[in-house]
Amino acid sequence: MRLDFEKMNGLVPAIVQDSKTGKVLMLAFMNRQAFKKTLKTKKATFWSRSRKKLWTKGETSGNFLEVKGIWTDCDNDSLLLKVKPKGPTCHTGKKSCFFKRVKK
């Protein structure tokens, strides 16, 4: 299996899901380096598009995401990370970054 980093200029979207509950926790992006570091450390590491650098989720808060498994979609251009969160995932302190409802 070979990930297609070319479709999005070196990035692939990574959906992060709680391995126990199935709840979607966040969406982030990975480049090759972030993907390799995630595989090596078993801690979710991403590419920050705004800061233009790698960041391991939890490196400042301590709320790491322990990776339990990684899946790719049928086109090999998106990832699903199933994780065990070590605290809230969102920087706001919420369990998930998806807590704002758009419309009923």
Q: How many degrees, rounded to 5, is the angle at CA 83 between CA 47 and CA 103?
A: 80
| pLDDT value for 74 | 96
Question: Quick check: 1 pLDDT over 80?
Answer: no
Does 75 appear as a known binding residue?
yes
pLDDT digits (tens, 9 = 90+) for 77-89: 999 999 999 999 9
| pLDDT value for 63 | 96
Burial class of 24 by CB neighbour count within 10 A (0 to 12, 13 to 18, 19+): middle
Does 74 appear as a known binding residue?
yes
pLDDT digits (tens, 9 = 90+) for 16-69: 999 999 999 999 999 999 999 999 999 999 999 999 999 999 999 999 999 999
Does 77 appear as a known binding residue?
yes
| pLDDT value for 104 | 85
51: left (phi over 0), alpha (psi -120 to 50) or beta: alpha
80: left (phi over 0), alpha (psi -120 to 50) or beta: beta
- Place 92 in a pLDDT band, splitting at 50, 70 and 90: very high
More confident residue, 12 or 1: 12
Residue range 11-85 in CATH 3.40.50.2020: no
> What are the boundaries of each domain within the chain?
11-85
